[in-house]
Amino acid sequence: MKAHDGIYLDGAWRPAAGRDVIEVVDPADEQVIARVPAGDAEDVDAAVRAARAALPGWAATPPAERAARLTALRDVLARRKDEIAETVTAELGSPPAFSQAVHAGLPITVAGSYAELAATHSFEEKVGNSTVLHEPIGVVAAITPWNYPLHQIVAKVAPALAAGCTVVLKPAEDTPLTAQLFAEAVHEARVPAGVFNLVTGLGPVAGQALAEHPGVDLVSFTGSTAVGRRIAATAGAAIKKVALELGGKSANVILPSADLARAVHAGVANVMSNSGQTCSAWTRMLVHRDRYDEAVELAATAAAKYGDRIGPLVNAKQQERVRSYIEKGLAEGARLVAGGPKSPRERGYFVAPTVFADVTPEMTVAQEEIFGPVLSVLRYEDEEDALRIANGTVYGLAGAVWAADEAEAVAFARRMDTGQVDINGGRFNPLAPFGGYKQSGVGRELGAHGLAEYLQTKSLQF
């Protein structure tokens, strides 16, 4: 795989001060496919300075011109779609069709949505005798995970640029090649030098230096709750704004009147896609006791059919983590009806699509985020019990409700403590706010709500 041996700083690829390198591994065959620089605190400092210097010019650039750069960026991403998909498959391991449709396709849509919002959003409003100006918040530190490598980047960088902010991106260690491709695309789109900067590097080194840097005005982080908590504490001490997209343990609630087969199939597909490495995945399926056995059988059959069609997990550590959760499920008394802890292949970080039945709400597999292809099927007695179980974790990122009558599903969804709910298989909407209740995060991404995260207000009174 093609890789840059520098960091993208102030409009050009430049040698990193950090001497270490990160080896990029193809998780399907465990081979090293590229090496990228592991930037250090000095690199982060140079990138933040470049972003700071570029801020006044970019903030003063008319929104229509910012929109034009974002349109150009979307067009480059669309033109280089195949290359992006191949790169994501190489470093994340996702099957080519999924890389094309989702990993490469979704960021084009999101970049396009922010090109449009930059052009149409009202950055000024009248409130009584005041004019309220919506101004860019400043220099943004974007720290992203590997699970949707390009989407996570675009969901932060596109709204930040639309708002008039400048950015330093520290992408995940496992997927830096996609981030480098994105930097190339920004360059090709003729975004002015310093407006976007990329420092590849390790989380506790480059990531931490970036989150702590006094020249950063907003830290936008997606990743684990543990790291998010730490970033929020650091930012809080510096009175700095944070946006956090963290973990999830979402409930797929199948009400007694629902089309069971449809709900179960959609639920299994949702958990198995991207090998379960989706923070908003519906990893807990809640089924009424009268239909429970039928649902378990349907889920086990559906999961078995996925067999070889799902990709590996991103790395050996993640594979081990998921397998140990499966062991824990068995040890706590859950009943394995598909998959299991044994690796299905000799090579690569694969885990078989796994389904647990007889899972009770307090079990570890029903409480903690596994981030792998593991579904837990839980039994409820009545609607109140279903609601208690659905809301009974520290997370609240997403969820689903199924019922014969849409209004019945909506009534249940209104009582769920979560940021997004799909009603009877409702489609993903790239303009709908995405983000968590409770420990799933702070702030929202996507659409106008995502743009608002990067703006601050100034009121002029007349």
CB of 116 to ligand NAD, least distance (A): 23
C-beta closer to ligand NAD: residue 58 or 454: 454
Q: How far apart are CA 147 and CA 92, in angstroms?
A: 7
Contact 414, 123 (CB under 8 A): no
Q: Which of residues 146-185 bind ligand NAD (CB under 6 A)?
A: 146-147, 170-173
- Amino acid (1-letter code) at residue 30: E
Residue 245 engages ligand NAD in binding (rule: CB under 6 A)? yes
CB of 148 to ligand NAD, least distance (A): 7
Q: How far apart are CA 65 and CA 10, in angstroms?
A: 19
Residue 144 engages ligand NAD in binding (rule: CB under 6 A)? yes
C-beta closer to ligand NAD: residue 176 or 361: 176
CB of 220 to ligand NAD, least distance (A): 11
Q: How far apart are CA 187 and CA 191, in angstroms?
A: 6
> Is the Cα torsion angle 235, 236, 241, 246 positive or negative in sign?
positive
C-beta closer to ligand NAD: residue 136 or 171: 171
| Residue among 98, 371, 380, 454 that touches ligand NAD (CB under 6 A) | 371
Query: Which of 37-45, 244-252, 320-328, 348-356 is the region at the interface with ligand NAD (rule: CB under 6 A)?
Result: 244-252
Listed residue (313, 272, 281, 228) closest to 400, CA to CA: 281
Q: How far apart are CA 209 and CA 47, in angstroms?
A: 11
Residue 143 engages ligand NAD in binding (rule: CB under 6 A)? yes
- Amino acid (1-letter code) at residue 124: E
Query: Which of 131-139, 219-227, 382-390, 446-454 is the region at the interface with ligand NAD (rule: CB under 6 A)?
Result: 219-227
C-beta closer to ligand NAD: residue 74 or 156: 156
CB of 383 to ligand NAD, least distance (A): 28
Residue 113 engages ligand NAD in binding (rule: CB under 6 A)? no
Residue 40 engages ligand NAD in binding (rule: CB under 6 A)? no
Rounded CA Rg of the chain = 22
Listed residue (275, 268, 217) closest to 241, CA to CA: 217
383 given a catalytic annotation = no
| Beta pairing, strands 139-143 & 166-170 | parallel
C-beta closer to ligand NAD: residue 231 or 365: 231
Q: How far apart are CA 3 and CA 87, in angstroms?
A: 10
Contact 142, 153 (CB under 8 A): yes
**Per-position b or e across 222-236, b if 16+ CB within 10 A of its CB:** bbbbebbeebbeebe
Count of residues that bind ligand NAD according to CB under 6 A: 28
Residue 247 engages ligand NAD in binding (rule: CB under 6 A)? yes
Residue of 91, 173, 212, 245 marked active site? 245
* Beta-bridge mates of residue 285: 252, 377
For the chain, counts of helices (H) and of strands (E): 16, 20
| Residue among 44, 185, 279, 387 that touches ligand NAD (CB under 6 A) | 279
How many CB atoms are located within 10 Å of the residue 367 CB? 15
Q: Which of residues 372-431 bind ligand NAD (CB under 6 A)?
A: 397
Cβ-proximal residue to ligand NAD, closest one: 203
C-beta closer to ligand NAD: residue 153 or 254: 153
CB of 9 to ligand NAD, least distance (A): 18
Q: How far apart are CA 7 and CA 206, in angstroms?
A: 12
**Chain position carrying tokens 């449709």:** 101
Residue 204 engages ligand NAD in binding (rule: CB under 6 A)? yes
Interacting residues toward ligand NAD by CB under 6 A:
143-147, 170-173, 203-204, 207-208, 211, 222-224, 227, 230-231, 245-247, 279, 369, 371, 397, 441
Active site residues: 245
